Structure 1
Amino acid sequence: MDKEFKALRIREENGEYKREIVSRKIEDLPEGEVLIRVRYSSLNYKDALSVSGNKGVTRNYPHTPGIDAAGVVEESSSDKFKVGDEVIVTSYDLGMNTDGGFSDYIRVPANWVVALPKELSFRDAMIYGTAGFTAALSVYKLLASGQTPEMGPVVVTGALGGVGSIAISILSSLGFEVTAATFDATGDEEVLNELGASNRISKDITDDQSGRPLLRPLWAGAIDVIGGNTLHTLLKACKPMGSVTCCGNVGSGDLPMTVYPFILNGISLIGIDSQNCPMELRQKVWDKLAAEWNVYKHKEQVIESSLEDLNEYIDLMLQKKSKGRVIVKL
């Protein structure tokens, strides 16, 4: 197939990373059993890092970012999928070192592909995307650890971002009292209330600088996207036998702390790896997002962008000024 299509390409030029919309051919795509015509993608922090030349995300350029894609199978050499199947691809190496979803077409291994649940449209699937899947996986693991609404409030950091806002919606629908942790304690009250947050705290409360190994318990559990001292604070101010999930390092990848929250209060720290999550669990979580956990109350405020207009939203994300979800219509 020699069909031409458009894609966002990032190229390295004298140490700088340039973005441009280019024309490509199917034969330019990497090897894989499944060729997918992309209908929607979404913008994630890893995409912004890839665009800016972060070699921890993408090693070689030129490259097409986009760690999420939803679309229709156009060719398949796998017996798992046939032409016309509606599918989702998120995580694994898509958009990192394998050309990703900011493109009309992707070609990927069959074992990266998830059947799109019949209750989800392409658009809604990408409103969730990796961020929504990560939020849902965090809630799933929190529940599996024994966390219940009766234990007390759960704090969600990055509450106005993709993972945080969706996690709040799911938790509140399950009867949890949710505390939204944001950069400051002012503004966006209406949005947080719509998402289901019961109250809100500023980053000062989740970024303790006292140096104490334990704090007075303030919450029963947490979902954290920040890492570093924020994660440390969440652990040492958690009520005994609570659980804290960790899925990000926007603040820092370091975690300098004592073992006291674990050995004195029985706190569980749960790592969330949405990139390499086993396929059986991945499909189960997507099915929940399509059904009883399809409760995100912020869909009407999702920003829909074309490839041509995506640059401004990438810049906002790199400046840590983005809010909610940006999806890309191909």
Structure 2
Amino acid sequence: MSAFKALWVTESAHGVYDLQVAERQVADLPAGEVLVRVKYSSLNYKDALSASGNRGVTRKYPHTPGIDAAGVVESSSVGEFAPGDEVIVTGYDLGMNTPGGFGQYIRVPAAWLIKRPQGLSLREAMILGTAGLTAALCVDKLERAGVTPSAGPILVTGATGGVGSIAVMLLAQLGYTVAAATGKLEQAELLNRLGARQILDRATVSDGVDKPLLREQWAGAVDTVGGDILFNVVKSLQYGGSVACCGLTAGAAFKATVLPFILRGVNLLGVDSVELPLVVKASMWDKLSLQWKLDNLEAAVREVKLDDLPAAIHQILAGKLVGRVLVNLG
């Protein structure tokens, strides 16, 4: 098959970006060692930025976004992968400046691929996607910093988002008492189903920006939003607590002092899931397929087709999307 369908983002002369499903040719894909027939992808905030012309994500247009892909090897020039192998790609340059998972085919370097763990289907892998990998990395960092279920409650900010919703599920399944902060209080019932024991209004965790310290509340936290909310979380950590930071939907900057660090000995842990060494990604995927496999993975997912993506992208940019969006490429 030489022709395939892909989401095609084009820029007009007036800086307006148009999204449409177009027919592309396999021959148009960049050079790479492995050609993959994509079965599933997922929608992430970074994909929406790429689809709306954010030059910090994607430099040149026309372009096909999609930082996640799971599918079957069609052809390979390296011995590690053979036609028929089921594989996962997340991060690196996929969907940024390399045509991504919102197309039915991708061609990528072998160094970006891992074989599907036996404990996960391709569909399950993309319900998780970069969001699930990031959530798992956050929890792993917290545990490495000494946070345990008995230490006290764990806060998750942006809890109805992709990373946040999976973080709530994973922490709850591991025995933590989870508090979920969200700007979508109407989704409290969903968050309770995911495992949250306490629901907080985003405004509550936004209060106190000008105070050097806040009341100690959290043994740990997963912060997906950044901005002043992130440092409010830092200021409200219990002595020796830690927060894993992985997002910036509330902003890239925050007002800070050294006081929480030198008076309470807290830790701010950065989490990256894009340029992470492949061996680390593979080990985390193995964990998500075995001891950390989620029982209620379907609880916060909506499945869409390629033709539905433009509407879903507009939703996520408007802050109206909840949970995970699985893209079925057929």
Deviates more, 1:279-288 or 1:207-216: 207-216
8 A Cα contact 1:139 1:167, kept in partner: yes
Q: Does 2:274 correspond to 1:258?
A: no
For the residues of structure 1 that align with 2:98 and 2:226, how far apart are their CA atoms? 27
Q: How does 1:269-308 map to 2 (within 5 A)?
A: 269-295=268-294, 297-308=296-307
For the residues of structure 2 that align with 1:323 and 1:242, how far apart are their CA atoms? 28
The answer for the alignment partner of 1:81 in structure 2 is: 81
The answer for the alignment partner of 1:311 in structure 2 is: 310
One-letter amino acid of the counterpart of residue 308, structure 1? D
Q: Name the CA shift for 1:210/1:136 in 2 (closer, same or farther; >3 Å).
A: closer
Q: Does 2:179 correspond to 1:179?
A: yes
Q: Name the CA shift for 1:205/1:86 in 2 (closer, same or farther; >3 Å).
A: same
Alpha-carbon distance, 1:295 to partner = 1.3
8 A Cα contact 1:304 1:326, kept in partner: yes
One-letter amino acid of the counterpart of residue 297, structure 1? N
For the residues of structure 1 that align with 2:6 and 2:297, how far apart are their CA atoms? 28
8 A Cα contact 1:194 1:297, kept in partner: no
User: In structure 1, the residue corresponding to 2:156 is in which secondary structure?
Assistant: strand
Alpha-carbon distance, 1:297 to partner = 2.2
The gaps in structure 2 that reach 5 residues or longer are: none
For the residues of structure 2 that align with 1:223 and 1:296, how far apart are their CA atoms? 20
For the residues of structure 1 that align with 2:52 and 2:71, how far apart are their CA atoms? 26
For the residues of structure 1 that align with 2:295 and 2:168, how far apart are their CA atoms? 8
8 A Cα contact 1:71 1:88, kept in partner: yes
Q: Does 2:139 correspond to 1:139?
A: yes
Q: Does 2:77 correspond to 1:68?
A: no
For the residues of structure 2 that align with 1:5 and 1:203, how far apart are their CA atoms? 43
Alpha-carbon distance, 1:21 to partner = 1.4
Alpha-carbon distance, 1:300 to partner = 4.6
Q: Cα deviations across residues 175-220 of structure 1 (Å, max 9, x unaligned)?
A: 1110001115x43232112111111111122112351111110111
8 A Cα contact 2:209 2:255, kept in partner: no
Deviates more, 1:62-71 or 1:74-83: 74-83
User: In structure 1, the residue corresponding to 2:203 is in which secondary structure?
Assistant: coil
Q: Cα deviations across residues 62-99 of structure 1 (Å, max 9, x unaligned)?
A: 00000000000111112221111100000001000100
The answer for the alignment partner of 1:32 in structure 2 is: 32
Alpha-carbon distance, 1:290 to partner = 1.1
For the residues of structure 2 that align with 1:52 and 1:152, how far apart are their CA atoms? 41
Alpha-carbon distance, 1:49 to partner = 0.4
8 A Cα contact 1:130 1:274, kept in partner: yes
TM-score normalised by L of structure 1: 0.97
Give percent identity, aligned residues only.
53
One-letter amino acid of the counterpart of residue 51, structure 1? A
The answer for the alignment partner of 1:212 in structure 2 is: 211
For the residues of structure 2 that align with 1:210 and 1:17, how far apart are their CA atoms? 36
Alpha-carbon distance, 1:298 to partner = 5.0
User: In structure 1, the residue corresponding to 2:206 is in which secondary structure?
Assistant: coil
For the residues of structure 1 that align with 2:301 and 2:200, how far apart are their CA atoms? 24
Alpha-carbon distance, 1:292 to partner = 1.9
One-letter amino acid of the counterpart of residue 315, structure 2? L
One-letter amino acid of the counterpart of residue 214, structure 1? L
8 A Cα contact 1:195 1:296, kept in partner: no
8 A Cα contact 2:20 2:310, kept in partner: no
8 A Cα contact 1:236 1:261, kept in partner: yes
Alpha-carbon distance, 1:261 to partner = 1.0
The gaps in structure 1 that reach 5 residues or longer are: none
The answer for the alignment partner of 1:3 in structure 2 is: 2
One-letter amino acid of the counterpart of residue 122, structure 2? F
Q: Does 2:25 correspond to 1:18?
A: no
User: In structure 2, the residue corresponding to 1:215 is in which secondary structure?
Assistant: coil
User: In structure 2, the residue corresponding to 1:187 is in which secondary structure?
Assistant: helix
Q: Kindly indicate which of the two structures has a greater share of residues assigned to helix.
A: 2
8 A Cα contact 1:68 1:89, kept in partner: yes
For the residues of structure 1 that align with 2:209 and 2:145, how far apart are their CA atoms? 29
For the residues of structure 2 that align with 1:232 and 1:278, how far apart are their CA atoms? 28
Q: Name the CA shift for 1:158/1:139 in 2 (closer, same or farther; >3 Å).
A: same
8 A Cα contact 1:307 1:328, kept in partner: yes
User: In structure 1, the residue corresponding to 2:11 is in which secondary structure?
Assistant: strand
Alpha-carbon distance, 1:296 to partner = 5.3
One-letter amino acid of the counterpart of residue 79, structure 2? D
Alpha-carbon distance, 1:301 to partner = 4.6
Q: Name the CA shift for 1:55/1:280 in 2 (closer, same or farther; >3 Å).
A: same
Alpha-carbon distance, 1:294 to partner = 1.6
Deviating above 3 A after TM superposition, structure 1's stretches of 4 or more consecutive aligned residues are none
Alpha-carbon distance, 1:7 to partner = 0.8
User: In structure 1, the residue corresponding to 2:288 is in which secondary structure?
Assistant: helix
